[in-house]
Amino acid sequence: MSIELIKTAHIASSVGADSIDGDAIADDAIDSEHYTDGSIDTAHLAADAVDGTKIADNAIDSEHYTDNSVDAAHLFDLARGSLLIGNGSAATAELTVGSDNYVLTVDSSGDIGWEAAAAGGISTTLTDGNILVGNGSNVATSVNPSGDVDIANDGTFSIASAVIVNADVNASAAIDVSKTALTAGTNISLSTNTLNVDDAFLVNDGSDTTTGTITAAGFTTSGYITLSDDTPADDTATGIIVTMTALTGLAVGELVHIDANGKLDQAHADAIADMPAIGIALTANSSGSDAEVNVLLLGIYRDDSQFNFTPGAPIYVSDTTEGDFIETAPSSDGDFVQRVGVAITADIIYFNPSLDVIEHA
């Protein structure tokens, strides 16, 4: 043993640095017993010297490869149309392609999957003339427009037939006559936005009806005039009505006379200066000065609040209240009696004043 140790030591001390090269070492003469841990580095490994058979299973993890070192060619193959997703176990999984017209959806758990379009997606099928509208559940729903508008299948909107009423037209809208249904006719002509009615319009052998007012310089008839409204509204009249100047303080429904200045004032049967009554005021004058009012000279008058007469009873000018009516003739000395009409009902009278005034003595 001592002799061997002396030989080894002697050989070691007699061999110079780098004096033994690869040619002096027999094949496979050096194994793992003849090199120390960490003595072999990458510089001493030949290219492609380490293949898959030299690497233990699961020996390479994310620490052993650099960013972007794994490209698409080194990922496992996916079927056409499939997707890589994170599944409910937080693992990478393959989501295979969905059926025709299916859409990707996400449920309340955050999982991605395929659903039929009708279950939550938008269908490519839409009924002719319909549009998609968000419903109360915030889901696009096919509906057909209704109400004031309609839509064609080329996307053109139009106003539906017979839906525009007077309230829909702005008061400031200047609508041309040409946009209306008005057409020229006998004794009627259209000029730009003016409707012209010839004087001959009212001369015919038929019946003319109007709810408005006919204004004319004169009126001639060989027949008769019919006033068909024998039950006018409260505080209104049917008959012969004129416009005259009245003093201020005149109310609707008061009997009026003509004063010394030719103006209307309340009639009163206790003084001859306030008589005779010639009409009933149909408009009031509370302006504080003279004003034009409408006056019924002859016809039917109704007053629900002031009248309470006996049908058929004669009606007179009141001697107690200015402008008022009474059913009993004034009977005090110095009063003036004038009959102005006859009661038709409790609140409607036929007004036809007699201009004869009799003083009661």
Q: For the chain, what are the domain ranges?
A: 83-120, 237-359
Place of tokens 């009615």: 197
- What pLDDT, on a 0 to 100 scale, did the predictor assign at position 344? 97
- What pLDDT, on a 0 to 100 scale, did the predictor assign at position 113? 85
Q: What are phi and psi of 325, to 5 degrees?
A: -110, 150
Cα separation, 102 vs 120, whole angstroms? 10
Residue of 111, 79, 76 lying closest to 98 (CA atoms): 79
Cα separation, 259 vs 231, whole angstroms? 31
- β-pairing, 194-197 vs 325-326, is unpaired
- What pLDDT, on a 0 to 100 scale, did the predictor assign at position 23? 74
Residue of 248, 249, 323, 309 lying closest to 279 (CA atoms): 323
- What pLDDT, on a 0 to 100 scale, did the predictor assign at position 236? 95
> Per DSSP, what are the bridge partners of residue 343?
349
Architecture in CATH for domain 237-359 = Beta Barrel (2.40)
Query: Residues 6 or more apart from 270 whose CB is under 8 A from it?
Result: 319, 320, 330, 332, 334, 335, 336
Instruction: Note the pTM of the prediction, 2 decimals.
Output: 0.47
- What pLDDT, on a 0 to 100 scale, did the predictor assign at position 1? 47
- What pLDDT, on a 0 to 100 scale, did the predictor assign at position 322? 96
- What pLDDT, on a 0 to 100 scale, did the predictor assign at position 8? 53
- Along the 361 residues of the chain, how does pLDDT read in single tens digits? 445 545 555 555 666 666 677 677 777 777 777 777 777 777 777 777 777 777 777 777 777 777 777 776 777 777 888 888 888 888 888 888 888 878 888 888 888 888 876 555 556 678 888 888 888 888 888 888 877 788 888 888 888 777 778 778 888 887 777 777 766 666 677 776 677 777 666 666 666 666 667 777 777 777 777 777 788 999 999 999 999 999 999 999 999 999 999 999 999 999 999 999 999 999 999 999 999 999 999 999 999 999 999 999 999 999 999 999 999 999 999 999 999 999 999 999 999 999 999 998 8
Q: How far is CA 354 from CA 88, 165, 351, in A?
A: 106, 50, 10
